[in-house]
Every structure is written in structure tokens, then in C-alpha cells.
Structure 1
Amino acid sequence: MKTILVIEDDIGIQKQLKWSLSEFELVFAQDRQSALTQLRRYEPDVVTLDLGLPPDEANATEGLACLNDILNFNPNCKVIVITGNTDNSHALKAIALGAYDYYQKPIDADVLNVTLNRAFKLAQLEAENRALRSSNVAAQEIIGNSDAMIKACRTVEKIAPTEITTLLLGESGTGKEVFARAIHKQSPRVKKPFVAINCASIPENLLESELFGYERGAFTGANKTTLGKIECANGGTLLLDEIGDMPLSLQAKMLRFLQERVIERIGGRQEIEVDVRVICATHRNLSEMVAEQSFREDLYYRISEITLVIPPLRDRGHDIIVIAKALLHRFNDEFNSKIQGFSDCAMQAMMQHSWPGNIRELQNKLKSAVILADSKQISAEDLGLTAQSSKTATLRMVREQAESQAIRHAHSLASGNLSKTADILGVTRPTLYALIEKYKLLDLRTTESETQQ
């Protein structure tokens, strides 16, 4: 059973919560000192905190101080502030200090249970992500716990110990080099060099010498023999980033290297054996380029012995928030700032944004937001984003819509018979009538009357 620490000095409210939150195991504390004692003893993931704690019940100073103590002890704890004050200022201040959510008395058991279950779900997701990061090297480098990213990390674990040539596909900014480094770090070559070269960033007439090196006197200005990136990666891993931009004239020489694992420096005649694990990456569609004859078909099949597609940020769901929080922690350290989180509006805006620049765009927006933010929470405005309102933003609206659709669907299956509809839904007929009244589905009753006639 999930444990909740309830920090509340009113015995009557303690009893009400114990009755209302029967699906949880509750432990109680009456003041700041006993709260810390219980916190150390039970280490709960979720805490409810009454801001009006003794000896300052009329104000929130003791409650806010207790909130700080809780988050200092366990920054991952989800604290739900419960306040009886009609003025939201104290509750909003608590949110700015790092509380997960706030709830105003009087207590509605259904709403509070939903809030608590959401808090536990988020705590579970974050715990799974931390466990995933600590369980393998790939996850330490790659942040996220969406199904797509967990599958990608598992693929990294499987291919890393092999020598198979891997092709990483993904939009610009999705983290292809991060995946390549993760493969290297889990491979037997981890103690050898990891060398990356971006084929798109080097002029065509220089790329060959960068890759293969050159002998002294090979061309004007070649005053000494210089090793290329391939030789520098000997024993380790070579990442050919943006290989889709490699000139067609150089692709034949690259194919020979991949097949024979030998190179010749520019101006040289001697074949040099090189032991390198090769990973390629590109944001281009190589299949289309092969069809257009702008990329060699034989090279394409040689570099894509196994292909790993990295999903764009917009398709990674809640990972956007997880990555944003990890980046916020990094930038807090980098700029010696103390931003504690994101406003609800900011998180909504991040989830709605299409992120054409992917993680690189998120990094840029967060870095500037950390520097420019005026409060302890980053707002949508700080990020340069706008949150669009959503009609399904509240849980009540989602539930009403889902239940209405379920009733109508069951009613259709039952050919308008309300008794059969109730059986399909697993409720009694009086309960069904109550739901029809609640959601104003009165046409369903009319349909049954017509059917009976």
C-alpha cells in the first residue's frame, strides 16, 4: 500500500483524511519537528502539508519552512499543500518553492484522491527514469522513459558488444551522437578513442584528408605526415556523422575502407590496417538518395547492417518534461542559479510545442530562460512559448466525456434497451438512469420508449 505523510494539527481533519483516503496508508505529524521525524522514518513519496502549522497557525511561515525542510531532505518528494485560506498567495508561494500541487479546504475526497494518484504516478515515472539511468550506460546518457526511448536503449544494449556497423537515423538535434557514445561506452572498446567527424561541416576538398590523413609533401602546405580521423580512432569507435552529406566521389573510397579495413593516406602508397568500429548517422533519407543515385547503394547496405531510428522530441510524450527538468538541474549548476521548476503553463506549453529543433532547441530555450527568469519558476513566457487552452485540460471534463461516450456506445450495442445497456456497463439500472440525468443524455430514455412502443 502506498504511504502518505499527512502533516496536519487538526485531529478532526486527520480523521476525515483517514476515512477519505482509505486506499493509502497514512502516517501523521502535527508540527514541523514531528514531520521531519516521520519523513526520515517512512521516506514517503507523497506528503500532504497544512501550511497553518503551530506555533504560527494564522500564517504560513512554519508551513513554508517545513516545506523547505522536506525538499532539502528529499527533492523528489511530491508535496501537496492543503490550505484553508481563501487567498491563494501562500499556496502559490509554496508552489514557487517546489511544492507539487495545492488543494483548498473543504476536502473533496474524490478530487484529493485524483491529485494524490497523479502525484504517485509522477513519482513512479521519475523513479523508473532514475533506475533506468543507473542500470545501464545508455540510460545514463539518454534521458527519457517513453516506450520508444526504452526500446532504443534496449537496442543499444544488444548491439554495443558486437562489431556490427550501425546506422543512426533521426532529425537534427535528436541526440544521434549521444546514442553513438552510449554504444561505444557499452562496447569492449570503451577504453579506446571515440572519434566523431561531421561530414557536412567540412568542405569537400578537405574531407578526404580529414578522414584518411596525408603524407608529407602530398600537396602544398603538407609539411608533415598527418593522421586522419580513421587512424586516430584505431582500436576504438569512429562516428561518421551526417554521412548522407558525404560527396559521391569519396563514397567509393569509404566503401573500400569499410570492406577491407585498410586505408591509404593521401600521397601515400602503403596500405595501413585499421581496427575501428564504425557508426554512421544522418538526418537524410538514404533510401531516397539511393533511388536518386546521390548515394551509393552498396555503401548504404554496408553501413546499415542494423538501423536504429531515434524518435523526434515531439513524439516522446512526457519525456519532454523529464528532459527539461534534467537540463534545468544542469543549467542551475552552470549559472549558479536556483530555479526550482516550471509553472503549469510552461509545462503545458512545452508539451504542445512541436520542437522542430528537437533537444537542441529545448536546450537553447531553457538556457536563456534560466538566465532571464525573474521568479523561482520558469514560465511559458520565459521559454518564449505560448500555451494554448485545451477543453480537455481538467480531469473532470475528461471523465465526463469518456463516460458519456461509453454509455452511448453500450446503448447502441444494446439496441436502445436500458437494462441491457446497464448490464454491458456493469452498473445497475438506477445507476445508469442517474448517469443519464447527470450527463444530460435524455435522448437515450426517449429512444427506449420508442423501442418499447
Structure 2
Amino acid sequence: MARILVVDDEEGIRRVLHQLFEYEDHEVRSAGGGAEAISIYAEFQPDVTFLDVKMARMDGLEALTKIREHDPAAVIIMISGHGTIDTAVEATRRGAYDFLEKPLDTDRLLLVLRNALQQQGLVQENQRLRGEIESRHQIVGRSFALRQVLDRVEKVAPTDARVLITGENGTGKELVARAIHRLSPRADKAFIELNCAAIPSELIESELFGHMKGSFTGAHEDRAGKFELADGGTLFLDEIGDMSLAAQAKVLRALQEGIVTRVGGAKPIQVDVRVLAATNKDVEDEIAAGRFREDLYYRLNVIPLIVPSLRERREDISMLVRHFVEANARQSNMRPKQFTDEALDRLQRMDWPGNVRELRNTVERLLILASGASVTGEDVDLLVGGKMKGGGLSGDLLGCATFAEFKEAAERAFILQKLRENDWNVSETARIIDMPRSNLYKKIERYDLVREG
């Protein structure tokens, strides 16, 4: 069911269209003039508006302009008993979706409405997908280290300067590249990404510059490369440190001259591409070892940008956890679980060698495997092994003052985990851990163990 606004100064026309659209199960409102239509539009927010051209006081073209000023995405179909080509052209210029002449043909009317609603649906779907993409590529955090990065992004984005983004794996170098593109004058053009480490060295040139049919085994047709696909937009070369020296030389030429040539081709192709590059390697060490061209490094490293590790911005972890919980809830259509303060504290004290990517995967694991209504500190201890400082032992265990305290804390964690694994079946748990059931009951009471949820 759609919301439809009918605007016409003839009551008979309004009544007929109102009945027709209601019969089609749509919600319909009507207005007898342009000023009334604008007032109703703001409150009703119709999906489609049918707007008469010739009306007293404010005509349809003026009403069309004012509605489009209020809502640039408005879908408006103009109707007129005195249609001319000039009027239709002017209505289209002002943003009308279509133009129908009176007397109105029912079949034609419903066809145009159906097409308009389909377009409206596509627009809304594109907005939803764009929102999901923006959410997925959002840079989350308020730490000083991250603010420094974002400040530099804001300064460099409006320019065409090349940026070399460095940082450990999983820190979000791609997100930074996308943010630069999104804030640049090229934002409405393509953002093309190539992971240089994922492409075999013998195919990297074809991926970058394209190839001609028959130029090598498997080249069954002409194909554009990433530089061509990114023309007018941004090309992001991820893991640039893994690119072969031969490919580096050709990238250097493309940067210097703005020209690429397909593998097996002879015709140079002019391209306008902003190149952003990223690597987790120390490029200067790679240059010293003869694995990276120094001249290419200076071409790419016009603006250096270092993305901090998660260890350098631990204060962002709580915010990142909430972000991943909400994203997971949207994707799985489930109510989000809360992380207790103890759980967040444990996550903040981990080393995170995999950085934000590792944190995201860990949050997803905890949401799936934690049995209670919320994720607790004990869940983190039991389900996120091997990530605490000290060879995988939790901070609580390592914080024990004596060996006796450590043994008690470890025993409590072990028994709790086994009870969870056996759905709190005490008899089965006692059998599996080879402990008399009476002893296990005593341990449960001693450690004040309670089933979650």
C-alpha cells in the first residue's frame, strides 16, 4: 500500500482518482489547490503526488517547485487538460516524474503509478543499502589517536594528493581510504579497490591495466583494468608492499603520465585517477632490501597517514563493541545483548594483535556463544582464550596474589565452563570431570555459581 496525494481544483477529478486509488488499496489524500497541497504534503509525506497544472491562485508548476524544494526526492506526476509540449518540458525540467493529459485513461494512469512506485522502491532500497554500507565502513572512536587521523583525513580529502596509509593488519586502513574518497570531490564516482597481496604476480598487471583478447592464456575477451574502472574516481591499492617490481614500474608510469596500456595492447588510454595506497610493511625497509622502488614510494607518499593500533586507543573499545553489537543485531534481526562492565574491562585489557578486525570477530563469537541474556566477564574469560596478556591467562587469574588464590580462581572458571558445556546437568558434569557429584555440589555452593538467564 502506498500513500498518494491527488491535487486538482475540480472536485469531480479528485473524487474519481480518490476512488480509483483506494480501490487499488492505496491510502489517498486530496487537495483542491497548490497551497493546500504543500501543507498536506509536509504532514502526509506521500509516495506519489498527482498534481494538476492549471489551478487558481497557485498553479501546478509553482506547487511542483515548492514541493521539490521541501523534498527533492518527491515523485510528482503532472496532469493537465491543456497539455502542451512546452508545459511538459517545463514540468520535467522542474523535476516531474511524468506528464499525463486529460481525459485520463485508467490503464495508463495505473501503469504510470506502478512504474513510479517501483522507482520509489528502488530509491528507498538504494538508500537502505547505502546506509548499510556507510554503517559497515564507519570509523568508530573518540580517542586522541583516532581524532588525529580523522583531522588529517578531513584536510587531505578535498585535494587530489596521493596518500600512503600505513598500520598493522586489521586497523582499518581501508576504512580510512573510503573516508578520504567519501569526503572528496570524487565521491560520486567509483571507489575501486585492489588487494595486491591477493593477486598472483603474473596477473597483477592485467588486473591493474586490463588486457586484450588473446594476450595470454585465459584472456578470452578484452577487459578493462582497475585504473580504467576508477577513471574519475579513486583507486585504492591495498598491500602495495606486495606488488612485484615490474608492476611497480608500470604503476609509476601511470602516476607520472596519467596513461595506461592494456596487456597485449598498443593504444595508450588516458585516465584521471586519484591513487590511495596502504601497507602493513615498513616501506623504507622494503626499499633497502630492494623489494620496493624508492621513486614509487615518493610518488605515493605525498601525504603519510599512520592508522593507530587498537592497543594505542583502548578507550575506543567500548564504543566499538556497542557498534558491532548493533550491526550484528541489524544483520541477524535479533535483540542485541548487552556487555557488562566487567566484560568490557576484560576486552580493554587484551593485546589485540589483529586489531579492530579481531575485536569485531570476537564480539560476534561472544554474542553467539554466551548463554546468558548479557555477555559477562566470565564469558570473555571462557570464550576468548589466548588473547590476554600473559600467554592466554585472564587478567583476573594473573591478578591473584598467591598460588592458592590462583588455583581457586582457575578451579571456579573450569567448573563453570564444564557446567555450561553440559547445560548445567550436574550429574553429567561430575561424570565428565571425574568428580563425585556431592563434591561438585559443594564446589557450586562454595563458588556461588548460578546458571545465567
Tell me the TM-score normalised to structure 1 length: 0.54
Q: Is residue 372 from structure 1 mapped to residue 373 from structure 2 by the alignment?
A: no
Conserved 8 A contact 1:215-1:222: yes
DSSP 3-state at the match of 2:198: coil
Q: CA deviation at 1:223?
A: 2.3
Q: Give CA-to-partner distance per residue, 1:131-184, whole Å, 9 cap, x none.
A: xxxxxx999821000001111111111000000000000100000100000000
Q: Work out the CA distance in 2 between the residues paired with 1:229 and 1:354.
A: 37
Structure 2 residue 314 is the aligned partner of structure 1 residue 317:
yes
**Contact 2:309–2:355 (CA under 8 A) maintained in structure 1:** yes
Q: What displacement does 1:204 show?
A: 0.5
Match of 2:114 in 1: none
Distance in 1 separating the partners of 2:229 and 2:329: 36
Task: Summarize deviations over 1:15-37 as a string: whole Å, max 9, x none.
Answer: xxxxxxxxxxxxxxxxxxxxxxx
Matching residue of 1:289: 286
Is the 8 Å Cα contact of residues 138 and 156 (structure 1) preserved in structure 2?
A: no
Partners of 2:146 and 2:397 lie apart in 1 by 27
Aligned counterpart, 2:85: none
CA distances 1:281-311 after superposition (whole Å, capped 9, x unpaired): 0000001111111111101111000100000
For 2:219 and 2:394, locate their aligned partners in 1 and report how far apart those are by CA, in whole Å: 57
CA distance in 2, matches of 1:140, 1:333: 15
Question: Does the 8 A contact of 2:337 with 2:367 survive in 1?
Answer: no
Specify the code of the residue in structure 2 equivalent to 1:388: G
1:234 to 211, 214, 231: 231
Structure 1 residue aligned with 2:277: 280
Give distance in 2, aligned partners of 1:392 and 1:151: 34
Which deviates the most, 384-393 or 251-260? Answer: 384-393
Matched, 1:381 2:388: no
- The aligned residue for residue 210 of structure 1 is 207
Aligned partner of residue 354 in structure 1, secondary structure: coil
Q: Is residue 137–residue 178 contact of structure 2 (8 Å, CA) maintained in 1?
A: no
* 324 and 167 in structure 1: CA distance in 2 versus 1, 3 angstrom threshold: same
| Conservation of the 8 A alpha-carbon contact between 1:173 and 1:359 | yes
1:27-66 correspondence to structure 2 within 5 Å: none
Relative distance call for 1:138 and 1:344 in structure 2 (3 A) is closer
Aligned position for 1:249: 246
State the distance in 2 between where 1:147 and 1:282 align. Answer: 23
Structure 2 matches for 1:334-349, cutoff 5 A? 334-349=331-346
Could you tell me how far 1:221 is from its partner in structure 2?
2.7
Q: 1:158-237 residue pairs with structure 2 within 5 A?
A: 158-237=155-234
Alignment partners' CA distance in 1, 2:340 and 2:263: 57
Q: For the aligned residues, what is the CA RMSD?
A: 2.4
- Measure how far apart 1:224 and its partner are: 1.5
Amino acid at match of 1:270: K
Instruction: Tell me if the contact between 2:163 and 2:275 (Cα under 8 Å) persists in the aligned partners.
Output: yes
SS of aligned partner of 2:262: coil
- How far has the Cα of 1:382 moved from its partner? 4.0
Alpha-carbon displacement from aligned partner over 1:315-359 (angstroms, at most 9, x marks no partner): 102101110111011112222333432123311211111000011
Q: What is the DSSP-based 3-state SS (H/G/I as helix, E as strand, rest coil) of the residue aligned with 1:317? A: helix
- What amino acid sits opposite 2:333 in the alignment? N
Q: List runs of 5+ in structure 2 lacking aligned partners.
A: 1-133, 386-391, 401-453
Q: Take 1:138 and 1:371, find their aligned partners in 2: how far apart are those partners?
A: 21
Moved more, 230-239 or 333-342: 333-342
Q: What are the Cα deviations for residues 388-421 of structure 1, in whole angstroms up to 9, with x where unaligned?
A: 149999xxxxxxxxxxxxxxxxxxxxxxxxxxxx
Letter of the 2:321 counterpart: A
Match of 1:64 in 2: none
- Name the counterpart of 1:73: none
**Residue 175 and residue 194 in structure 1: after superposition, are their counterparts in 2 closer, same or farther (change >3 A)?**
same
- After superposition, what is the alpha-carbon deviation per residue over 1:25-50, rounded to whole angstroms, capped at 9, x for unaligned? xxxxxxxxxxxxxxxxxxxxxxxxxx
Q: Kindly tell me: are residues 171 and 185 of structure 1, through their superposed partners in 2, closer, same or farther at Cα, counting changes over 3 Å?
A: same
The match for 2:326 is: 329
How far does residue 368 in structure 1 lie from its aligned partner after superposition?
A: 1.4
Deviation at 1:386, TM superposition (A): 5.6
Shift in Å, 1:216: 1.7
1:390–1:154 Cα change, 3 Å: farther
Give the total of aligned pairs. Answer: 258
Change beyond 3 A, Cα 1:309–1:292:
same
Please, which of 338, 357, 364 is the counterpart of residue 360 of structure 1?
Answer: 357
TM-score for both structures, normalised by structure 2: 0.54
**Percent identity of the aligned residues?**
44
Determine the C-alpha separation between the residues in 1 that align with 2:266 and 2:144.
Answer: 51
Deviation string for 1:114-144 (max 9, x for gaps)? xxxxxxxxxxxxxxxxxxxxxxx99982100
Change (3 A) 1:268 1:197: same
Indicate if the aligned counterparts of 1:345 and 1:387 stay in contact, CA closer than 8 A. Answer: no
Q: Deviations over 1:239-259 (max 9, x none)?
A: 000000001121111110111
Change (3 A) 1:355 1:182: same
Give how far 1:381 is off.
2.9
CA contact (8 A) 1:138 1:182 kept: no
Contact 2:210–2:262 (CA under 8 A) maintained in structure 1: yes
Unaligned runs of 5+ in 1: 1-136, 394-453
CA–CA separation in structure 2 for the residues paired with 1:220 and 1:374: 54
Q: 1:298 & 1:177 partners in 2: Cα distance?
A: 24
Given the superposition, is the C-alpha separation of residues 286 and 302 from structure 1 closer, same or farther in structure 2, using an over 3 Å criterion? same
2-structure distance, mates of 1:306, 1:138: 26
- How many angstroms apart in 2 are the aligned matches of 1:305 and 1:381? 46
Please name the residue that 1:152 is paired with: 149
Q: 1:213 to 1:229 in 2, by over 3 A?
A: same
Q: AA paired with 2:353?
A: P
Structure 1 residues 197 and 253 mapped into 2: Cα distance closer, same or farther (>3 Å)? same
Matched residue type, 1:283: N
Separation in structure 1 between the aligned mates of residue 169 and residue 398 of structure 2, nearest angstrom = 33
